[in-house]
Amino acid sequence: MPRRGGYRRSSLGFAILLIAIGALWLYGNMHPGFDPWDFFWHYWPVILIAIGVGKLVDYFIDSANANRIASAGTSSASDTSSGHPQGHSHAGEVVAILVVVALVAIAMSRHNLRREWRSSSHSVDVQGAEKADVNINLGAGNLTLRGGAPAGKIVDADFHYALEDGEPSVTYSVSKAEGTLDLDQHVEEHLRLVSTRNDWDIKLNNDIPSSLRVDIGAGHGDLDLRGLTLTGLDLEMGAGQVNADLSANWKKDSTVTIQGGVGQATVRLPEDIGVRVNASGGIGTVSSGGLHREGDAYVNDAYGKSPTTLEVNISGGVGQIRLETEP
C-alpha cells in the first residue's frame, strides 16, 4: 500500500511538470521568436536545484512527522492501512513545481518585453486616377481612418506594429483612370497568448470618388468620413468597437453596409440627405438618436425629400447600436 501512495505522489508531480514543459513548447510554436531550448539551456541548473531542495524539504518534514508519530505511540501499520501514508509531505514537491512554473512565466514575459516595435509611413501619388476602390484589411488592432491626404496623394498612412507581425503593405495600381488601393498585413496565423500593438492612421484623398471597404478582425475602428467623396462603404468587424461618422460627401444614392460581431457600434448620420437604417440579424439594442421608425427601419426627416438617399444596412452580432445625427 505505501508503494501505491508513493506512485500517486510521483505521478502528480510528473504530470504537472509535463504540463509546464508542454505549455513552454506550445508557446514557442505560436511565437517563432521564442526558443524553448534556450530557456532550458539557461535555467536547467535552477530547475535541478529546485527539485533537489524540494526533496530535501520533504525528507526533513517526513522525518519530523515520523518521530512525532513514534513518540505518540502510533503504529506504522495503522498509518498505512488506508494506502496513503499519513506522514508524507508534499511541500517540497509543490515548491519545486512552482519554481518551474515561475521560470516558464518569466521566460514568456521576457520574450514579450523583448518584442520589437516598428513604425513606417507610406504616401502614394494619385497617378491620374479619377475614381478609386479602397480596401483596408486589418487583422487586429486600432484603425483611425479620415480624409485630408496631401494634395496629389491617394493615401497618406502611418503604421506602428510589432516586428514579428510584419510591416503592413500598401499597393496601388491605376487602369483606365480607376485606381485600386489595398492596405493589408499578412500576419502569420497563430493563437496569441499576449497582447500586441497594431495602430494604423490612414488619410485618404477627399476629392476622388471612392468605394471603400474596411475589414477589421478585432479591435477598435474610428472612421471619420467627413469631407471624403464616397460612392459606397462596406465595413466588417469581428469583435470590438467601431465609431463611424458617415457625414461624407455623398453625390448620389449610396449604400453603407456594416456587419460582423461588433460589440458596440456608434454611427453618426448626415442630416442634409435622406437616410434609411435597416438593422437585422442578432442585433441587441438600438438607440435611434433622433430618427423615427418607419416599418422595420429608422429614417430621418430628410428621407424621401432630398434628391440623394443613403441606405444603411447593419447586420450580424452587434450588441449595441447608437444612431446619431448631425447637430
Condensed to tens digits (0 to 9), the pLDDT of residues 62-78 reads 777 777 777 766 544 44
Give, in order, the Cα–Cα distances in Å from 207 to each of 154, 168, 301, 305. 9, 25, 28, 26
- State whether 36 and 88 are in the same domain: yes
Instruction: Calculate mean pLDDT across residues 185-192.
Output: 55
Answer with the one of 113, 137, 163 that is the final residue of a domain. Answer: 113
- State whether 141 and 101 are in the same domain: no
- State whether 88 and 124 are in the same domain: no
Q: How confident is the model at residue 190 (pLDDT cuts 50, 70, 90)?
A: very low
pLDDT of residue 321: 81
- State whether 8 and 136 are in the same domain: no
pLDDT of residue 47: 66
- State whether 44 and 165 are in the same domain: no
Flag whether pLDDT at 110 surpasses 50: yes
Q: Which of 111-120, 226-235, 318-327 has the lowest mean pLDDT?
A: 111-120
pLDDT of residue 193: 39
Q: How confident is the model at residue 327 (pLDDT cuts 50, 70, 90)?
A: low
pLDDT of residue 28: 59
Answer with the one of 84, 113, 142 that is the final residue of a domain. Answer: 113
Give me the percent of the chain exceeding a pLDDT of 90.
39
Which of 59-73, 85-99, 223-237, 312-326: highest mean pLDDT?
223-237
Flag whether pLDDT at 146 surpasses 80: yes
Give, in order, the Cα–Cα distances in Å from 165 to each of 67, 187, 207, 274. 60, 5, 33, 43
- State whether 243 and 317 are in the same domain: yes
Number of domains in the chain: 2
pLDDT of residue 180: 98
Flag whether pLDDT at 231 surpasses 90: yes
Answer with the one of 113, 147, 180 that is the final residue of a domain. Answer: 113
- State whether 276 and 289 are in the same domain: yes
Give me the percent of the chain exceeding a pLDDT of 70.
65
Alpha-carbon distance of 325 to 272, in angstroms, equals: 10
* Residue whose C-alpha cell reads 439594442 in the numeric block: 285
- State whether 225 and 272 are in the same domain: yes
- State whether 85 and 197 are in the same domain: no
- State whether 17 and 141 are in the same domain: no
More confident residue, 44 or 320: 320
Beta bridge partners of 160: 119, 199
Counting Cα atoms < 13 Å in the Cβ hemisphere of 297 gives 14
Q: How confident is the model over 152-176, as pLDDT tens digits?
A: 999 999 999 887 778 899 999 999 9
Flag whether pLDDT at 194 surpasses 90: no
| Phi, psi for 198 (deg, rounded to 5) | -150, 100
More confident residue, 181 or 81: 181
- State whether 126 and 108 are in the same domain: no
- State whether 46 and 194 are in the same domain: no
pLDDT of residue 214: 96
157: containing domain: 117-325
